């Protein structure tokens, strides 16, 4: 039995005080937005309670689906790296970036480069599993389970939050899913933006969602995990390998008391039995904004 924990969109608080020069351009809008509304939604104490509960279940691996930070200030990247270390080592934690992690363009060494160890691929020199030119898809293997990370995060104009999946990543994903499928691996695709069309508004959507859906249908996968929408949601996608559960999770720091929006993370227990894959999901999170973390849902997704 393998247990994967999925946590997304922590939007780490407190937000380090930005300098005047850092607030030039789009960051100013994001900072005002943080002070006026997001600060009240994303609670550090809620996130800390979610993380403590998650670690108490000793998952074999943790997938973090981006939007770790808010306005991509250099100090946020440093604080986020320290936070990632509290989850585990880079061997225990995988990250894919979200749009708030590329809120504006930041030099690699001051920005996403600080999290490189958590976004690297672990498949040696295998050509069939090689990443595209930007280092994605990443592939991590755990015996017969593989976690495939995609990067959709790009800087966008103010009030937009779309994602892009370039052709080289799509081509590499196709090859990787095919190769791992031939090896009967349990393939988990990990992405920030909703991976199917019509799961969010155009200005927030993955531009290549239809293409990604085509790849998933034609190559197959066993599970898809995403964030971005800050709401719990499960879709199913018929594919060559069977029905794929596509699971979106709410923000892990949210104290927004709306249906499906309170802080939560999901545990996926995966095992092989009588020649078939089984996967059980347990959602753990808040029932009320000031409550304790406990089980909110348990169901079989596969088998």
Q: Which helix (H) or strand (E) holds 242?
A: strand 242-248
Q: Is 67 in the site for Fe ion (CB under 5 A)?
A: yes
Minimum separation from the CB atom of position 11 to Fe ion (A):
6
Closer to Fe ion by CB, 95 or 219: give it.
95
User: Binding of Fe ion at residue 9 (CB under 5 A)?
Assistant: yes
Q: Which is nearer to Fe ion, 154 or 217 (CB)?
A: 154
CB nearer to Fe ion: give 98 or 132: 98
CB nearer to Fe ion: give 9 or 76.
9
Distance CA 296, CA 301 (A): 15
For residues 249 and 225, is the Cβ–Cβ distance under 8 A? yes
**Interaction of residue 76 with Fe ion, rule CB under 5 A:** no
Is residue 189 a contact partner of residue 181, using CB atoms and an 8 Å limit?
Answer: no
Can you tell me the distance from the alpha carbon of 97 to that of 154, in angstroms, rounded to the nearest whole number?
A: 9
**Interacting span for Fe ion (CB under 5 A) from 24-32, 64-72, 146-154, 283-291:** 64-72
Residues 6+ away with beta carbon under 8 Å from 173: 137, 148, 150, 189, 212, 215, 219
Q: How far, in Å, CA of 286 to CA of 80, rounded? A: 23
Nearer to Fe ion, 12 or 221 (CB): 12
CA distance 265 to 54: 8
Q: Is 208 in the site for Fe ion (CB under 5 A)?
A: no
Q: Number of residues in contact with Fe ion, rule: CB under 5 A?
A: 2
Q: 271: which 2 tokens? A: 């095992």
Site string for Fe ion, 24-63 (x = CB under 5 A): ----------------------------------------
Sort strands 223-226 and 242-248 into parallel, antiparallel or unpaired: parallel
Least distance in angstroms from the C-beta of 133 to Fe ion: 26
The nearest distance, CB 9 to Fe ion, in angstroms, is 4
Residues 126 and 252: their CA atoms lie apart, in Å, by: 35
Q: What is the closest distance, in whole angstroms, from the C-beta atom of residue 229 to Fe ion in the complex?
A: 8
Residues that bind Fe ion (CB under 5 A): 9, 67
């Amino acid at each position: 039995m393998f247990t994967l924990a999925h946590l997304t969109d922590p939007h780490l608080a407190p937000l380090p005080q930005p300098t005047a020069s850092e607030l030039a351009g789009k960051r100013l809008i994001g900072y005002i937005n943080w002070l006026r509304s997001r600060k009240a939604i994303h609670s550090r104490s809620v996130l800390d309670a979610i993380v403590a509960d998650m670690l108490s279940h000793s998952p074999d691996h943790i997938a973090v689906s981006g939007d770790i930070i808010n306005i991509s200030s250099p100090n946020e990247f440093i604080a986020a790296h320290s936070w990632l270390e509290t989850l585990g080592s880079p061997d225990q934690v995988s990250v894919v970036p979200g749009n708030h992690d590329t809120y504006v363009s930041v030099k690699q060494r001051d920005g996403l480069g600080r999290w490189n160890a958590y976004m690297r691929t672990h498949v040696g020199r295998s050509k069939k599993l090689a990443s595209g030119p930007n280092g994605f898809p990443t592939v991590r293997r755990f015996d017969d389970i593989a976690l495939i990370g995609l990067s959709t995060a790009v800087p966008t104009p103010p009030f937009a939050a779309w994602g892009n999946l370039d052709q080289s990543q799509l081509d590499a994903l196709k090859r990787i899913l095919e190769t791992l499928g031939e090896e009967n691996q349990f393939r988990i695709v990990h992405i920030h933006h909703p991976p199917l069309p019509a799961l969010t508004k155009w200005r927030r959507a993955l531009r290549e969602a239809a293409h990604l859906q085509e790849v998933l249908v034609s190559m197959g996968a066993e599970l898809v995990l995403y964030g971005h929408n800050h709401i719990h949601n499960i879709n199913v996608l018929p594919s060559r390998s069977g029905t794929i559960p596509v699971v979106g999770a709410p923000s892990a720091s949210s104290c927004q008391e709306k249906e499906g929006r309170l802080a939560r993370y999901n545990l996926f227990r995966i095992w092989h039995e009588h020649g078939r894959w089984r996967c059980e999901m347990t959602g753990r999170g808040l029932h009320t904004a000031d409550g304790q973390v406990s089980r909110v849902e348990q169901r079989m997704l596969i088998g």
